[in-house]
Structure 1
Amino acid sequence: MKVSNNRLGGLVSGGMNNLSNMNELYLDRNKFEGTIPYSLSGVLKVMDLNDNELSGNLDNSLWNLSSLVVLNLAGNHITGKIHPQICGFMGLHFLDISSNNLTWYVPNCIFIQLNFVNLSENSFSGDISFPFFNTSSLISLDIRHNQFTGNLHWVRYLDNIRLLTLGRNKFEGPVNPKVCKLMYLRIIDLSHNKLSGSLPACIGDMSFKGDTDDQMLEPVYGEIYNGSSYDLRGFTFASKGNLYTYGRSFFASMSGIDLSANMLHGEIPWELGNLSHVKSLNLSYNFFVVPIPMTLSGMEEIESLDLSHNELSGPIPWQLTQLSTLGVFSVAYNNLSGCIPNSGQLGFGMESYLGNTNLHQITQGDMCAAPSPDPAAGKEVEETTGDPVLYVVTAAGFVLAFWATIGFSFYHPYGRSVMLKM
């Protein structure tokens, strides 16, 4: 049954308990209310109830849905914690319970062959320094916007991961160099955590090259039964200052690294220039130092490059003007110096270069001129220093008055009498 994207309402529980003759249930993007029934049975393979008004706890302890492959409850108001019984759905490949009000810990389901997991935008917590899902089967893991803690050493076991988004949690420690072993990785988002240390240079050895014929996608995209398949959607990644949502196409259309808003420091590895297939790189709001590597010009497909809010110094490498695909660029609020390249692909507005005191523009005469002052600062200077012409007139008046006084004192009779009395 498929009644997606309508304005249907009422209680979702009415008549749902016995699903014995139904293989797929699509009630997504409607206005159904109430709680999900506790007793569900049948041969259901797909249950998609995302983007409704469902509430209450997610209690699947009495479900008898051994054939379930897809469970999508995203975008509702479901509360409480995930019942451990969910680990009993051995055939489950796709689990999306994002954008709810779920809390507590995630049960340890290392025996389920889950491929796509989205737990983002909830209030899950706990230390996940160890994996809680079968790492060898995971293709996409999105747990952004939660309260997870611990280190990221467990990430190295995600042998088949394509999309890994862990942003806006409380992970800490270094970026483990063994992440470089994830040979199929396409998108990684570790932003807005407490990661520290230097960035492993071996990241530059990763391919980040997608494949539209990726065989690992088949468990969900392939035939579930009788030629039917499930349309993956809802995986997001921030690039060019915006949040984009990707379906299956993201494996071919997007590749990116977001490490922004952490405590990473040291040099930006020159090896990142080998990432010729990466379209988005965000290292902003960290503590990277020394010059920008000129080797970044090797990122042939880069569309968005954000190095702002660091402690980078030295000039902007002219080699970056060769990045023909670059659409968004920022080195604002660093300690850069020298001239802003005025050719090639770096002809962006001054907002891309703000906050670099010693960074100058190139004028029409190919001269390296100081950047235009802040209008507010200029007004303050004008009020305190005044017009330069006024300085000249004032100085000349002072000199004339001085010599007139001397002449009057020595040559006028009254002036001489005054001087003799002193």
Structure 2
Amino acid sequence: MGSLRELHLGFVDLSRQRQGEGGEWCSALARYTPNLRVLSMPFCELHGPICAPFAALRSLSVIDLQHNRLTGPFPEFIAGLPFSYNDLHGWVPPAIFQHKGLVTIDLHQIPGVSGTLPNFSADSNLENLLIGNTNFSGAIPTSVGNLKSLKKLGLGAQGFAGDLPSSIGHLKSLTSLEVSGLGVVGPMPPWITNLTSLEVLEFSRCGLHGPVSSSICELPNLTILSLHTCGFSGEIPPCILNLSQLYALLLHSNNFRGKVELNSLWKLPTLSHLKLSNNKLNVIDGEDNSPLVSFPDIKFLELASCNITKFPNVLKRLDGIYALDLSNNQIHGAVPQWA
């Protein structure tokens, strides 16, 4: 198959391949498909390290080997190739982030890999940079603002530290921004409102603190707003109820104060996940709406430590709920029959 350009074998069980350095699959591809550009083999039960001859496949632009059982250190010869990994470990060469042909770097959910982010050049073609739940560390470079084609930026690694560079606010094509890092400090960055294409915004397990400005409501396309396990405080901006596309609102484990009326959630028709636990909130039913008003089909509702004194009546309208947490409240008396 010397002319083969694309190979898609996802979910094909290749666990009985012959053993060896990288296994039969790796050496066969390197030998017989020299012009391969797209290789997609997720969930194939591949095992062992990546074989050295694999580096000869210089035409590759997409490689997806997620959810296999690949082992060994991160192979340095991969530095010139775009790659998507899951079960490797070791230091990721900085050169992989500077490869001019890369469109996607997806290393998320590989806690064994580590590294630092290099300076990015303005001629980069990166559209997706995802290194969440890895062991990356250090500062997020200002040059990340050079990645003008970037659509998804996932920097959810606990080792990141310092101020978030304001240059991220120049990435007008971003649809997803996720940042973690216990050493990432400062207030909610004001440049967030420049990212009007955002659909996913997550700041989690980090040192960001202070109030959340109502200007966040100027992101009308948000489907996921996740500001959890940080130091955010003050009242939750009421205008969040105007973000009618919200699917998940995750604000747990902060220092938010004030009153939240559950009956006002009918303004979020697509809401499925709501987490307000472990703040300093007072969650109440609020003013009852007419039964004719449709209510979102909430599946996951977490209201632990929300100063609730009785079973919320809003639960009567959540027939499809999967998970409910009302722990550490002041609910007392008999459990209602309807519950």
TM-score of the pair, normalised by structure 2: 0.74
Q: 102, 110, 114: which one pairs with 2:136?
A: 102
Give the aligned partner of residue 300 of structure 1: 296
Give the aligned partner of residue 376 of structure 1: none
Deviation at 1:133, TM superposition (A): 6.0
Structure with the greater alpha carbon radius of gyration: 1
Q: SS at 2:239's partner residue?
A: helix
CA distance in 2, matches of 1:131, 1:272: 35
Contact kept in structure 2, 1:36 and 1:54, CA below 8 Å: no
1:217-256 mapped onto 2 (5 Å cutoff): 255-256=247-248
CA distance in 2, matches of 1:40, 1:174: 41
Give the aligned partner of residue 28 of structure 2: none
With over 3 angstroms needed to count, the CA separation of the structure-2 counterparts of 1:104 and 1:145, relative to structure 1, is closer
> What's the CA shift string for 1:170-228, capped at 9, x where partnerless?
2101121111111111111111111110111111111126xxxxxxxxxxxxxxxxxxx
Contact kept in structure 2, 1:316 and 1:339, CA below 8 Å: no
CA distance in 2, matches of 1:57, 1:40: 8
With over 3 angstroms needed to count, the CA separation of the structure-2 counterparts of 1:295 and 1:33, relative to structure 1, is farther
Q: Which amino acid aligns with 2:85?
A: N
CA distance in 2, matches of 1:54, 1:133: 32
Q: 152, 161, 171: which one pairs with 1:116?
A: 152
> What's the CA shift string for 1:332-364, capped at 9, x where partnerless?
333356764322xxx2xxxxxxxxxxxxxxxxx
With over 3 angstroms needed to count, the CA separation of the structure-2 counterparts of 1:200 and 1:11, relative to structure 1, is same
Give the aligned partner of residue 263 of structure 1: 255
Deviation at 1:166, TM superposition (A): 1.6
With over 3 angstroms needed to count, the CA separation of the structure-2 counterparts of 1:317 and 1:80, relative to structure 1, is closer
CA distance in 2, matches of 1:89, 1:167: 30
Give the aligned partner of residue 62 of structure 2: 24
Matched, 1:328 2:323: yes
Q: SS at 1:167's partner residue?
A: strand
> What's the CA shift string for 1:370-415, capped at 9, x where partnerless?
xxxxxxxxxxxxxxxxxxxxxxxxxxxxxxxxxxxxxxxxxxxxxx
Q: Which runs of 5+ in 1 are unaligned?
A: 210-254, 348-422
Deviation at 1:48, TM superposition (A): 2.5
> What's the CA shift string for 1:35-86, capped at 9, x where partnerless?
4437855xx6xx23311324124321795x322111123315333311114x
Q: SS at 2:193's partner residue?
A: helix
Q: SS at 1:48's partner residue?
A: coil
> What's the CA shift string for 1:112-131, capped at 9, x where partnerless?
12111222244111122735
Give the aligned partner of residue 175 of structure 1: 212
Contact kept in structure 1, 2:103 and 2:126, CA below 8 Å: yes
Q: Which runs of 5+ in 2 are unaligned?
A: 1-35
Contact kept in structure 2, 1:198 and 1:266, CA below 8 Å: yes
Q: How many residues align?
A: 291
Matched, 1:276 2:269: yes
Contact kept in structure 2, 1:129 and 1:154, CA below 8 Å: no
- Bigger helix fraction: 1
Q: SS at 1:103's partner residue?
A: strand
Percent identity of equivalent pairs = 21
Give the aligned partner of residue 369 of structure 1: none
CA distance in 1, matches of 2:139, 2:170: 17
Deviation at 1:291, TM superposition (A): 3.4
Q: 45, 53, 67: which one pairs with 2:101?
A: 67
Q: Which amino acid aligns with 2:258?
A: G
CA distance in 1, matches of 2:58, 2:265: 54
Deviation at 1:9, TM superposition (A): 2.4
Deviation at 1:312, TM superposition (A): 3.8
> What's the CA shift string for 1:137-164, capped at 9, x where partnerless?
1111222465322121333222111122
